[in-house]
Amino acid sequence: MERFGTFLGEASSLSRHFDTLFLALFILCSLVTIIITFLIVFFAIKYRRGASTSRFIIRKSTAIEFAWTIIPFGLFLAIFVWAAYFYTELLVPPDDATVDLDIAIVGKQWMWKLQHPNGKREINKLHVPLGKNVRLTMISQDVIHSFFIPAFRIKHDVLPGRYITIWFRPIKLGKYHLFCAEYCGTDHSRMVGQVIVMEPSAYAQWLQQK
């Protein structure tokens, strides 16, 4: 069963971490919104035209000023550090020696071209073995594209003239959407594909097929 709050399947080792981060950010922002909205409405009513409330007593509290500046700052800074940590996780595989599979990807208007280590190529389809660390080295042939697999929670811009490396470890068999997430021209909306997670033995067999 899917976890509450997630409408997408969690199909990679990083999915859950990004979901928790998103949930924390959502809750924090909701609290800030609720508190500020409440205060706006509360003061608008309290100091409405004609209200008998005194407008001349001004009490200053440095402690309160510091508290409402430093506490939210600290909370949002923590979210930033948390997000930066997992962004680094996405870019850097746990250890170079633990990469099981290297895939080379070229984005172009309007398709994804992918190549496996033995030279086998595919277009708009990516077959990967379950439970293995897959490293993607991506570049674009023309404009900026963005490689996006929602179920894996991985998305990264693919640029012309610069290699980008990200990685993932699929934890669930199945077929998943692959999108281009950066508007790249007329047929951007058709620049879609499929990621197929297979048992390692089935993948090995598939790799040998002509």
Under rule CB under 5 A, residue 156 binds Cu ion: no
**Which of 114, 178, 180, 181 contacts Cu ion by CB under 5 A?**
180
What single-letter amino acid sits at 34?
A: I
**Which of 116, 127, 135, 145 contacts Cu ion by CB under 5 A?**
145
Under rule CB under 5 A, residue 138 binds Cu ion: no
Nearer to Cu ion, 166 or 198 (CB): 166
- The H or E element that residue 161 is part of is none
The whole-angstrom separation of Cα 104 and Cα 110 is 17
Under rule CB under 5 A, residue 184 binds Cu ion: yes
> How far from the centroid of its chain's Cα atoms is residue 161's Cα?
23
35 φ/ψ angles, rounded to the nearest 5 degrees:
-65, -45
Nearer to Cu ion, 191 or 198 (CB): 191
Query: Closest separation between CB of residue 112 and Cu ion, Å?
Result: 8
The whole-angstrom separation of Cα 91 and Cα 69 is 33
Under rule CB under 5 A, residue 196 binds Cu ion: no
Pairing of strands 134-140, 145-149: unpaired
Q: Under the rule (CB under 5 A), what is the footprint of Cu ion?
A: 145, 180, 184, 191
